[in-house]
Amino acid sequence: MPRRVLDGVLLLDKPLGLSSNDALIRAKRLYLAKKAGHTGTLDPLASGLLPLCFGEATKFSQDLLEADKTYEATMRLGIRTTTGDAEGETLETRDVACDEPAVLKALAGFRGDIVQVPPMYSALKRDGKPLYEYARAGQVVEREARPVTIHALELLACALPDVTFRVTCSKGTYVRTLAEDIGESLGCGAHLVALRRTAVGALTLEHAVTLDALSDADASARDAWLQPVDALLSTFPAVYLDEESARRFLHGQRLRLSELPQASNTAVASSESALNLPPDLPRVRVYTDGKRLLGVAKMIDGVLAPDRLVVTAS
């Protein structure tokens, strides 16, 4: 069957045991989509939110790679493994002598700005080769500690030796490493036994769909699960342009906002006027006054500089 030109975002609830790329391939096949990509991998042993981008939405997937993530995770105290999770072989077993108050105190020590040493079983590259290839060959290479931010870390359940927590963290955070480091602070070690991603930026599992549900649905029902391209950009301030300004913007011209006419949609102009925005912003989403997404731009000293443009209506 012919492939479709399809623009939009699918919030997929990825199942356990499936790689992110395999999940993408299945969804792309169901939609008969020409172009698709995902916004950051989830390991096969992890489940949860995996936003998939189709068509023009792929231009903005990088913004979700940069976004904060929220996970619910379970770690098992007293056992360290080669991979930091349940896939690895046991390295060491220790007695678990802590209690719930000790766990709460340990979690408090990992909130805020911390540093992590990336795990050997990761896709980070050294001399062009992923670290996991060195690890599988029995080699350990030096890794520099990297700063990450733990915005929130909350205990959900403590049924020792298992501890379940919710964490909201910056990009580049390894929850496996976080579990290992918490275990070390408790003096008994730990490894991750379950991981579920519940949010990516402002996107949550609330509106996500499973592959099984997509497979059972007809084409129109599947299309109803697609969200517009700007679902990826909801945290960016909005700028609305009149028809002539929109034409210039789509031709790559920079626009000084103070010199532009107000958008004709007065409700929009009064609630989200570009003139009320700070003069410098890393990203804004840009629309026609009819609310069609044109793309994203940077605000530099009150000038709207086109960054990534949408070439089809969304």
3 state SS of 76? strand
Among this protein's residues, is 43 annotated catalytic?
A: yes
Cα–Cα distance, 82 to 57 (Å, whole number): 37
193 phi and psi, to 5 degrees? -115, -15
Question: Which burial class, exposed, middle or buried, applies to 12 when counting CB atoms under 10 A from its CB (0-12, 13-18, 19+)?
Answer: buried
274 Cα distance to chain centroid: 27
Question: CA-CA distance, 288 to 261, in Å (whole number)?
Answer: 12
Crossing angle of helices 175-185 and 100-108, rounded to 10°? 120
CA-closest candidate to residue 179, choices 100, 97, 72, 95: 72
- Judge contact between 97 and 128, C-beta under 8 A: no
Catalytic, out of 43, 85, 181, 289: 43
Q: Enter the DSSP assignment of 239.
A: E
Q: What are phi and psi of 184, to 5 degrees?
A: -65, -40
CB distance 12 to 50 below 8 Å: yes
Query: Cβ distance 239 to 284 under 8 Å?
Result: yes
**Which sequence positions are flagged as catalytic?**
43
